[in-house]
Amino acid sequence: ALWACAAFSVYFFRDPERDIPAGERFVLAPADGKIVAIKPFPEWRGPFGEPLVRISIFLSVFDVHVNRAPVAGLVQTVTHTPGRFKAAWGEEASQENEQTLLHFATPDGDVWVKLIAGLIARRIVCRVTPGQKVEAGDRIGLIRFGSRVDCILPEATVLRVRRGQSVEGGTAVLGVIP
């Protein structure tokens, strides 16, 4: 049993190299997992008052949990909010669960990523700081043992994914910012 737990832990914390697609204004998936929601996000507005859309990705314990920058840009803010530890596939997890919000500024529009703890996940590790420049696909953090990642984009983004689709962090293109 001890060997099985050790083997699962090694498997869980894997961090494979990824071939990052090159393309201007691409928004890459910040995490491996299944898209559980694509919804308008009226709670917030972009810096110029533009409407936003939220893409939610559920990470099971079998997915890679290293999170990646969806865009090249400047990290504006990193905000950690304590909260609950509800099942991450549920809609309420985006508002109620413990989370870390990262705001990326790009010349084409701002993008936000929420790293959200889940039922089993109790630790969010953020590896970027405000003022840091990142490239699309750079490693930005890790959520341990099951979680959810929300990517919040300008509503004008031309989406290339659908609900129920599985995506791979740093390689799948969620959309293109016009």
pLDDT digits (tens, 9 = 90+) for 15-43: 888 899 988 899 999 999 999 999 999 98
pLDDT in tens, 40-93: 999 899 888 899 999 999 998 888 889 999 999 999 999 999 988 888 778 888
- Helix spans in the chain (H): 2-12, 93-96
Q: State the DSSP string of 60-91.
A: -TTS--EEE-SSSEEEEEEEEE--B---TTST
Catalytic residue among 9, 94, 147, 166: 147
Which positions ≥6 away from 123 have C-beta within 8 Å? 117, 143, 144
Which positions ≥6 away from 6 have C-beta within 8 Å? none
Q: Which residue has the higher pLDDT, 60 or 13?
A: 60
Residue 177 CA to residue 152 CA, distance in Å, equals 12
Global pTM reads 0.90
Does 147 qualify as catalytic in the annotation? yes
Mean pLDDT score across all residues of the chain: 90
